[in-house]
Structure 1
Amino acid sequence: MYISRRSVMTFLAGAAPGAFTRAAATQLPPGIQIQKGPFQPTRESLKAYTVPQWFRDAKFGIWAHWGPQSAAEYGDWYARNMYLQGSRQYNYHVKTYGHPSKFGFKDVIATWKADKFDPDYLISLYKKAGARYFVSMGVHHDNFDLWNSKYQPRWNAVAAGPHKDIVGLFRKAALKAGLKFGVSEHLSNSYNWFAPAHGSDKDGPLAGVPYDGADPAYADLYHPLPKDFDIAKTPAMSRNAPESWKLLYFRRIKDLIDNYQPDLLYTDGAIPFEEYGLALVAHFYNSNARRHGGRVEAVYTSKGRQDCEVGTCVLDIERGIAEGIPPNPWQTDTCIGHWHYDKEARYKSPKLVIDMLVDIVSRNGNLLLNFPLPNSGMLDEAELKILDEVTRWMAVNGEGIYGTRPWKIFGSGPAASTAPLGGRPAAFNERMRKEFSAEELRFTTKGNNLYVFVMGWPGSQVIVKPLAVNSSVERVKVLNVELLGFKGKLKWAQDEQGLKVQMPEYRPCEHAIALKVTCA
């Protein structure tokens, strides 16, 4: 993103190293300071943001949704659900560790060892698989920071658990490999999300015995909830919290930004706590601009559609795909299985992963794909096999993915004519997805080339109807057709029925194939 020359010169002239401002143009809560720069902590000011070129070109990122909740290897939201009597994870916890009044999440943290964690090896696998950016977990709803945290000194990955600066180690490995580096934060919901830790069993031999979260000695992990706090009526993902928590949230994420300088910052939800969250976004952009000569190369993702419609940030859609072709770049974040590692999870097939990647890119989006790490920090065999198939496919077809832009339509075929996907709008609509067949086509463009992804092996011939000489989509004169990964010449013809391509017997890859159509 380029800001006006006048804004840049004013910014550079007036901001000495380390300079901060209370953002006098805006009334901010006490204790809030942000980096000076072209952005003020207001929605109006943040409208000036545009998505940097690197993100638009990258298309594919890999995420390690990893932390102390991975220690039990029993799925996502473990730190909350282990306090919900009768839940799958509560039952597992009691059987494996004991009752949560005696062995709580603070004790689970001590079992997270990361004894096989090799960030350089992992990043090398992700880069080979085609990822152009990597995202580390920064902090989940469990209130445990994965960096050497100034404002969470007792409950962070350097002070407890593996005693390793997870964010720092991942950052070093990613930058060394030439990848952009991102962090995710899920902290804003923690105050309400963690409330069940203050409860107790409703029935049974330990009914009424408080869980360990009620012990004030651990309020820095489980939060100091007021006595009248209604645990049963508090939604997990709500953000009803006191000002003291909002300020602590701001300070911790600002600490993460300042000390690890991510290229991408992912927030789980919409921009939190209005003036606190807007201040963080402005600080993030201004800090990034200072390191890039006034050019903002940062990406902030939000799940708040209204946040992103005005240009403030990149829209992130959890486990779902946008309808049509949104005008601005966006991102899907999803996982091959459960968010946190689950030894009983079933993973997406490699074909489904590739189908999603191509579909998302054809709609002007990026795919951020989580490979959950187990306690040890080393991928399991099934995950390695999925990575290997993605690696082999991207080696053949990456040309039609990286640096591309959407065409007039994202695709054609039975699934392309169904909207929204699975009958659900955007978020979480992937649950209804099925693997694509060869009837399904997806399109991307780069220069004078149109890439036609055939989402399965078509047999002896493929007909691309939108490229008919009398097409209602766009009148395109085809000059040449190639099959990525195949060195021979193809026989083809363009007529009123479409672009007809005779396919060779040789299949260059499994799953989707890509035709490179050179146009006049």
Structure 2
Amino acid sequence: MTPKLSRRSLLQATAATMGAAGLPVAQAAPSPFKPTWDSLIGGYRTPDWFRDAKFGIWAHWSAQCVPEAGDWYARHMYIQGSGQYDHHVKNYGHPTKVGFMEMNNRWKAENWDPEALMDLYAKAGAKYFVSLANHHDNFDAYDSKYHPWNSVRVGPKRDIVGTWAKAARARGLRFGVSNHSSHAWHWMQPAYAYDAEGPRAGQRYDAFNLTKADGKGKWWEGLDPQDLYTGRNMVRPDGITTAAAAAEWHERNDRIWNENPPAQNPAFTRQWFLRCRDLIDSYRPDLVYFDNFGLPLGQTGLDIAAHFYNASMAWHGGKLEAVLNAKELPHERRAGLVEDVERGQRAGIEPLPWQTDTCIGDWHYNRHFLEGHHYKSAASVVHRLVDIVSKNGNLLLSIPLRGDGTIDADERKVLDGLAAWMGRNGEAIHGTRPWRSFGEGPTQIGSGMFSENQVKGFTDQDIRFTTKAGALYAIGLAWPKNGVMRIAALAQDSALAPSMIERVEAVGSTDSLPFKRTPQGLEVKLPEGLAGTPAVALKVRGNGLA
């Protein structure tokens, strides 16, 4: 078990890492990267393993999955009038008495089988796996040296990140971690608030009053709730008398999303640095995902980025194998890391590799998706993957776990569907690069975060292209009515493909398919046995075609 650091010990531990303005700086062996944007942009190149992998699976798993009531539970359970507040009061008690810290104790992971799950993920075609290291709820799912609220000491009593890492690497998958905790200092502030109306109006929730001394004789003896809830950074004032007004106050004040360090709480920034550096040094991830618009916490994010890149080079004999994800980057900074587009895509081929992250349901497990059969289908995931890969991107897909560590029957069905399609067609995805054009067809794809639901469905004219080892892959996103795929980009006298087409095969088969080239397009008669597949991948060969 990790001993709790006293405030004095924490300050002593950070003293050696303090730089300008009292902020920590990375301590690493001399190497090319400095904690500046100019250094990151000038020295970074996306590693080939990431460009080849194309598809990763993410376990966005924490104590917020225990109630099975969806994402952001640790925040919304403190906002009177929300569905999660009602769920918490009904099932666990009022947040004046039963706060979110109690959910961490209820997270037992008692049926978690990481080996079996990783087998499913690998079979589904994932080439990298990402473990949630911490969320905005400020709980570390690893053996954290600097934060006692962690999964080895509380809840599962297991090193979640370390166990996932071992299972992933045993199957040849690259391993990553996601770190969301830099927003905890404002995101958890509703835990210090109160009901604005009703019989408990004005009574402050658990975080406002709890101290370390209150844990004597309880399961959390020796732990300080303020270390978890982050302290009183922007507490809702007294005097708000309606739930609607209270919710509006939180939306306006502490649901902010700026990446500056909290000026009134420098200890939070120092400890975040130590926790993140410990995460990187202890588990040596290939990928670190930051849920941030740019890098977190000002200069501290740059310090961590430089440390990660330099450490990766030290681990790999001078070769940079690190991928660092962040969001909403200005164009001039995108070369310094790999931009992530949450629940969104791109309209065309991007010059730099990028990543979409999405989930088949809510980020944290929500029983509603099982009961209503609302998950994304395997076919819709395939369509997203194909479109993203054709545009120089990767797809990171979250499969939500229940609090006990299991997935449900509908989620397994999605994974089985992915395995069936990727097992045959993965050649057209893994290791590929964009072609001269990403594709064709009438369906328009929006660009930017949270744009994925703009796409209602693809037609049999929607085709996407990838290329590898001299071959062109044309992937049709719907079955054509007459069983003939027409590829306009490969028509006679096409400027994109002026060379002769010699052979066409369905991926997964070596049989040559009948085709003809007309002014309207390359017309290929598809095997009837492929009817019903989510997408039909063809391998087209011709000298100079790719």
- TM-score (normalised: structure 1): 0.91
DSSP-derived class of the 1:471 partner: coil
DSSP-derived class of the 2:336 partner: coil
Q: Which residue of 1 aligns with 2:381?
A: 353
CA drift at 1:508: 7.1
Residue 306, structure 1, aligned to residue 330, structure 2: yes
Q: Which residue of 2 aligns with 1:169?
A: 163
Q: Which residue of 1 aligns with 2:462?
A: 440
CA drift at 1:244: 1.8
Distance between the aligned counterparts of 1:304 and 1:188, measured in 2? Answer: 16
Q: Which residue of 1 aligns with 2:303?
A: 279
Q: Which residue of 2 aligns with 1:219?
A: 226
Are the structure 2 counterparts of residues 404 and 308 from structure 1 closer, same or farther at C-alpha, using a change threshold of 3 Å?
A: farther
Greater shift after overlay, 56-65 or 226-235? 226-235
DSSP-derived class of the 1:268 partner: strand
Q: Which residue of 2 aligns with 1:427?
A: 449
Q: Which amino acid aligns with 2:452?
A: E
Distance between the aligned counterparts of 1:190 and 1:431, measured in 2? Answer: 28
Q: How does 1:20-39 map to 2 (within 5 A)?
A: 27=20, 29-36=22-29, 37-39=31-33
Are the structure 2 counterparts of residues 50 and 67 from structure 1 closer, same or farther at C-alpha, using a change threshold of 3 Å?
A: same
Q: How does 1:193-272 map to 2 (within 5 A)?
A: 193-217=187-211, 218-226=225-233, 232=250, 233-239=253-259, 241=262, 242-269=265-292, 270-272=294-296
Any stretches of 5+ residues in structure 2 without a counterpart?
A: 1-13, 212-224, 238-248
Residue 377, structure 1, aligned to residue 427, structure 2: no
**Any conservation in 2 of the 1:264–1:300 contact (CA below 8 Å)?**
yes
Q: Which residue of 1 aligns with 2:315?
A: 291
Distance between the aligned counterparts of 2:500 and 2:346, measured in 1? Answer: 30
Greater shift after overlay, 137-146 or 498-507? 498-507
Distance between the aligned counterparts of 2:273 and 2:236, measured in 1? Answer: 23
Residue 506 (structure 1) aligned to one of 529, 532, 541:
529
Distance between the aligned counterparts of 1:484 and 1:144, measured in 2? Answer: 45
Q: Which amino acid aligns with 1:503?
A: L
DSSP-derived class of the 2:335 partner: coil
CA drift at 1:437: 2.4
Distance between the aligned counterparts of 1:228 and 1:157, measured in 2? Answer: 28
Q: Which amino acid aligns with 1:33?
A: A
**Any conservation in 1 of the 2:185–2:233 contact (CA below 8 Å)?**
no
Residue 69, structure 1, aligned to residue 97, structure 2: no
Q: Which residue of 1 aligns with 2:8?
A: none
Greater shift after overlay, 333-342 or 443-452? 443-452
CA drift at 1:473: 3.2
Distance between the aligned counterparts of 2:516 and 2:167, measured in 1? Answer: 48
Q: Which residue of 2 aligns with 1:468?
A: 491
CA drift at 1:445: 0.7
CA drift at 1:304: 3.2
**Any conservation in 2 of the 1:135–1:184 contact (CA below 8 Å)?**
yes
**Any conservation in 1 of the 2:389–2:429 contact (CA below 8 Å)?**
yes
* % identity of equivalent residues: 45
1:441-467 deviation per Cα after TM superposition (whole angstroms, max 9, x unaligned) = 011011221100011222331111111
Distance between the aligned counterparts of 1:21 and 1:285, measured in 2? Answer: 23
1:108-158 deviation per Cα after TM superposition (whole angstroms, max 9, x unaligned) = 1111110011111111110111100000000000000000111111x1101
Q: Which residue of 2 aligns with 1:451?
A: 473
Distance between the aligned counterparts of 1:206 and 1:391, measured in 2? Answer: 51
1:272-308 deviation per Cα after TM superposition (whole angstroms, max 9, x unaligned) = 1221000000000101100111111010011032277
CA RMSD of aligned residues (A): 2.0
Greater shift after overlay, 467-476 or 104-113? 467-476
Residue 144, structure 1, aligned to residue 139, structure 2: yes
Q: Which amino acid aligns with 1:55?
A: F
1:203-236 deviation per Cα after TM superposition (whole angstroms, max 9, x unaligned) = 0000111101112411111111157676632224
Q: Which residue of 2 aligns with 1:186?
A: 180
Q: Which residue of 2 aligns with 1:46?
A: 40
- TM-score (normalised: structure 2): 0.87
**Any conservation in 1 of the 2:124–2:422 contact (CA below 8 Å)?**
yes
Are the structure 2 counterparts of residues 21 and 41 from structure 1 closer, same or farther at C-alpha, using a change threshold of 3 Å?
A: farther
Q: Which residue of 1 aligns with 2:390?
A: 362
DSSP-derived class of the 2:464 partner: strand
Q: Which residue of 2 aligns with 1:13?
A: none
Q: How does 1:403-422 map to 2 (within 5 A)?
A: 403-415=431-443, 418=444, 421=446
Residue 53 (structure 2) aligned to one of 58, 61, 77:
58
1:22-80 deviation per Cα after TM superposition (whole angstroms, max 9, x unaligned) = 899x8473543321221110111111100000000000000000001111111000000
Are the structure 2 counterparts of residues 80 and 236 from structure 1 closer, same or farther at C-alpha, using a change threshold of 3 Å?
A: farther
Q: Which amino acid aligns with 1:32?
A: V
Distance between the aligned counterparts of 2:227 and 2:382, measured in 1? Answer: 42
Q: Which amino acid aligns with 1:432?
A: Q
DSSP-derived class of the 1:134 partner: strand
**Any conservation in 2 of the 1:193–1:237 contact (CA below 8 Å)?**
no
DSSP-derived class of the 1:473 partner: coil
Greater shift after overlay, 226-235 or 137-146? 226-235
CA drift at 1:509: 6.4
